[in-house]
Amino acid sequence: MEKINNILEICNLSIAYGPIKAVKEVNLEINHGEFVALIGANGAGKSSLLKSILGINKAEKGSIFFLGQDITRKPTDKIVSSGLSLIPEGHVIFSSMSVLENLQLGAYQNLADFEENLKRIFDYFPVLKDRSSQIAGTLSGGEQQMLSMGRALMSKPKLILVDEPSLGLAPKIVTDIFNILTELNKEGYAILLAEQNAKKALEGSHRCYVMKTGEIAMSGFSTDLIDDPKIRQAYLGGN
């Protein structure tokens, strides 16, 4: 077996909703320990792409490899158990269950080191520890986003897919969340971040893909892209 450098590889992936093509022939690759951003306007197909990696949207064409294995047609639970985790956009939590129960559910595929995992997550998000018996629906927006992240981390993923973590949150909390993501990346997690807030995404990430109407319009190192006049024009407000 050949040595695999990348953790995720997407080849010629297309996704369609009925007659509408959301993602067209996308190629994408993430290496171990890398923090990759996926930027693009609303409706560019970022969320569709992330959901299809997890098998929630079925791919029409193309294939997805995770750690060298083809996961294109696998059911979501198998994909999650192989070490992928998605933090969806808009705090998707089990709002009538307690915070602790939410985290327990996150550990569905990885019940072994539950206590240890839980301790780790309470270290990242101390606020969740204080509120562990509270009903999740009563948390604030930022706390719900943290819970959503904590739940995704409970399965000890190798690659975290993050979809629009900044959506609808106050700037200060957005900064906190990005700091946590950077910290997670430093600990060795590979991260794929889909984000409209291009500036923040480019600052934190190593590499970046720019998506436009379902296609990858551009890609490169974040430090290069941040200086690219076209990017500045289109996504960073021109300055």
Partner 1 sequence: MEIFIAQLISGLALGSIYVLLVTGFNLMLLVAKIIQFAYPQIVVVSMYTCWWVLKLTGNKLIIILAGVSVSIILSLLSEPIFRKISSIEGVDINASFIASMGIAMIMMDIMSHSINYGFPVAFSPDWVGGNIFGYGLITVSKGQLFALLGGIIAVLIFFFLLYHTNQGRFFRAIAENRFAACLVGIPIIKTSIFSYLIVGILGGFSAILFSMLIGSASPWLGEFVALKMLAVSIVAGLGNLQGGLVCGLLLGIIEAMAIGYFSGSWSNVIAFAVMLIVVLMKPGGLFGIKI
Find the binder of partner 1 among 42, 96, 133, 239 (CB under 8 A).
96
Binding span for partner 1 by CB under 8 A among 123-131, 149-157, 211-219, 223-231: 149-157
85/166 with CB nearer partner 1 = 85
Q: Which of 39, 49, 51, 28 is CA-nearest to residue 201? A: 39
Find the binder of partner 1 among 77, 130, 183, 227 (CB under 8 A).
77
46/151 with CB nearer partner 1 = 151
Please count the residues of this chain forming the interface with partner 1, following the rule CB under 8 A: 28
Distance of closest approach, residue 20 Cβ to partner 1, in angstroms: 14
Binding span for partner 1 by CB under 8 A among 4-12, 107-115, 175-183, 208-216: 107-115
Find the binder of partner 1 among 92, 127, 180, 218 (CB under 8 A).
92
Q: Residues 180-209: x/- map of binding to partner 1 (CB under 8 A)?
A: ------------------------------
Distance of closest approach, residue 92 Cβ to partner 1, in angstroms: 5
Binding site for partner 1 (CB under 8 A): 54, 56, 75-77, 79-81, 85-86, 88, 92-97, 101, 104-106, 108-109, 111, 151-152, 154-155
